[in-house]
Structure 1
Amino acid sequence: MLKRCSAVSVAITFLVAGNLSASLSDVAVKLLSGGISPFQYMFVRQLLCVLLLLPFWLKAPVNKRQLGSIKVTLFRSHLMLAGSGLLMVALTYLPLATANAVFYTAPLIMLPLSIWLLGEKTTSGKVVATLIGFIGVMVILRPSQFHWAAIFALGCAFTLALYNILVKKLPRREPVFITLFWTSLLSLPFAGLLSAFFWQPLSYFELVLVAASAFFTMGYHASAVSAYKRAVTSHIALAEYSGLIFVSLFGVVWFEEYPDGLTLVGILLIVLPMILGHQRK
């Protein structure tokens, strides 16, 4: 059945699944409640990601284990590292849906980045839909109630946008798990150095939460790499907004964060352009 689907449809499916995984990771991070330092979280999470991916890397043929583009992968590894730290701070101090509303400015940032860095072309419809999504984000965020942690959320969105854009600079035939393995491994030296200054004992519960975050984050990154290798960035970036629905539901279930009327309006402004745009294809 998948063979009958267009590349864009398959890519959007990957992104929606990936954003569900990312939303579960956000829940795990928020449950940490700032109990460990962001630097310690960054190192432990990346180490666990490497351990999760190591068996797949070892099973791969020797000629497939090689790193395709060391400069791009090294840069992406530290974008992932920075993004995870910024994300933890934002989720600690902001409601789940509010933090994610800012995270979902990433597709807005990706549009000009894809034009600038990749030379991709877009349509006026995509620009309008993206602007409507941005208005939705602002409705949810409510600038009049701006919190300093939103700056960290915005920084996370920028690192995520650039991280995804640079997928196009990787070798097309490089397996996803190989890309993820090297990206996680190359981030460990710097992450370990930073965490050494802020190390403290981890409880079993905290370790389980970091492990859950690592697992679900790998799910997102694997889906994102698969999606952005299959389709033009501007054609699928709006699908990133699907995660906002998931985190809003999880916020109610786990944290009793009930969205008000303005939040629901903002979510509709974000999601409807994505749905309508896809139906016209």
Structure 2
Amino acid sequence: MSTQYFAILLLVIGNLAASLSDVAVKVLDGSVPVYQYVFIRQLLSALVILPLWLRQKRKQRKLHKPGLNFFRAHILILGSGCMVVAVTHLPLATANAIFYAAPLLMLPLSTMLLKETPPFGKVIATVIGFVGVLVVLRPSEFHWAAVFALVTAMTIALFNITARQLPAEQSIITTLFWTSVLSLPISAALALFHWAPIQSEALFFILGSASLILLYNGLAVAAYQKAQAGSIAVAENSGLLFVTLFGVMWFDEVPDWLTAMGIIMIVAPLIPWHSLRRRATR
């Protein structure tokens, strides 16, 4: 398997984890204040990754480029808060369709920040995907929570693009640990304004969400360090298949035909048509 296809596989698995994390947020249904959820999730993430971080050699635990890591940690806070609002108030498929505008945003960002030139085919694929997002969203039926979903999409794009700027000597475990730790002061301060009593069941779902999103972040860092962002970013759209399936199975959110058409438009660019053609001619 080529490095590019391996990176795509990592993103698909990561998006499955992120989709299950969204399910946990949907189950909470706004019962936990937004930034209380974010703070607890980041704290649990730090505690989950701490033993793995400590098992590394001292040199591997070192934080490189603290400014970049600080920036990524606070992008994560903003995106997580907006994600909670969007998933709570929109159907899973609709919210995630907007989230997956991120690959389209990553094309100009990768060009500006990383000086990458994405292949023309990838540009066309992501444009088709964005049209699919518009079909799912249907601007004539615009919901205010979609604004929060759009902000989440931008933070996802920035978070993944900046992963390419992380130094190779900083391990994925170290990156995840410091991202969680650096996000705690601000998220704690925001959480204190709206702190509320929390039930053990809610803590269980937040722990599950934290573990799953930690897995996504780790796989995303690994993927974007292995391949150019413009070449693999379209694989982020795979999560839309997962959340649509979960929405039907667990929340009775059956997409109408327009939503289904938009999802097809978003997912179609993921299919390696050239590989299928080569196999068919053998």
Please give the alpha-carbon distance, in whole angstroms, between the structure 1 residues aligned to 2:30 and 2:22: 13
Structure 2 residue 236 is matched with structure 1 residue 240: yes
Deviation per CA, 1:131-190, whole angstroms, max 9, x where unpaired?
100011111111111000000000001011001000111112321111000000000001
Q: Which runs of 4+ in 1 moved over 2 A?
A: 276-281
Q: Which amino acid aligns with 2:144?
A: W
Q: Which amino acid aligns with 2:76?
A: M
The 3-state SS of whatever aligns with 2:164 is helix
Deviation per CA, 1:37-89, whole angstroms, max 9, x where unpaired?
11101100000000000000111101110001100000000001111100000
The count of residues paired between Structure 1 and Structure 2 equals 277
C-alpha deviation, 1:197, in angstroms: 1.2
The 3-state SS of whatever aligns with 1:259 is coil
Q: Is the 8 A contact 2:119 2:231 kept in 1?
A: no
Please give the alpha-carbon distance, in whole angstroms, between the structure 2 residues aligned to 1:278 and 1:174: 36
Q: Specify which of 274, 277, 281 is matched with residue 270 of structure 2.
A: 274
User: Once the two structures are aligned, what percentage of the paired residues are identical?
Assistant: 52
Q: Is the 8 A contact 2:103 2:236 kept in 1?
A: yes
Correspondence for 2:40: 44
Q: Is the 8 A contact 2:60 2:169 kept in 1?
A: no
Q: Specify which of 48, 58, 78 is matched with residue 54 of structure 2.
A: 58
Correspondence for 1:158: 154
Once the two structures are superposed, the pairs formed by residues 190-209 of structure 1 within 5 Å of their partners are 190-209=186-205
Correspondence for 1:142: 138
Q: What TM-score do you get using the length of structure 2 for normalisation?
A: 0.96
Q: Is the 8 A contact 2:105 2:154 kept in 1?
A: yes
Structure 2 residue 16 is matched with structure 1 residue 27: no
Q: Which amino acid aligns with 1:28?
A: A
Q: What TM-score do you get using the length of structure 1 for normalisation?
A: 0.96
Q: Which amino acid aligns with 1:119?
A: K
Q: Which amino acid aligns with 2:104?
A: L
Structure 2 residue 176 is matched with structure 1 residue 180: yes
Q: Specify which of 81, 89, 101 is matched with residue 97 of structure 2.
A: 101
C-alpha deviation, 1:277, in angstroms: 5.8
Please give the alpha-carbon distance, in whole angstroms, between the structure 1 residues aligned to 2:120 and 2:9: 24
Q: Which amino acid aligns with 1:124?
A: F
Unaligned runs of 5+ in 2: none
The 3-state SS of whatever aligns with 1:169 is coil
Correspondence for 2:163: 167
Correspondence for 1:69: 65
Q: Which amino acid aligns with 2:9?
A: T
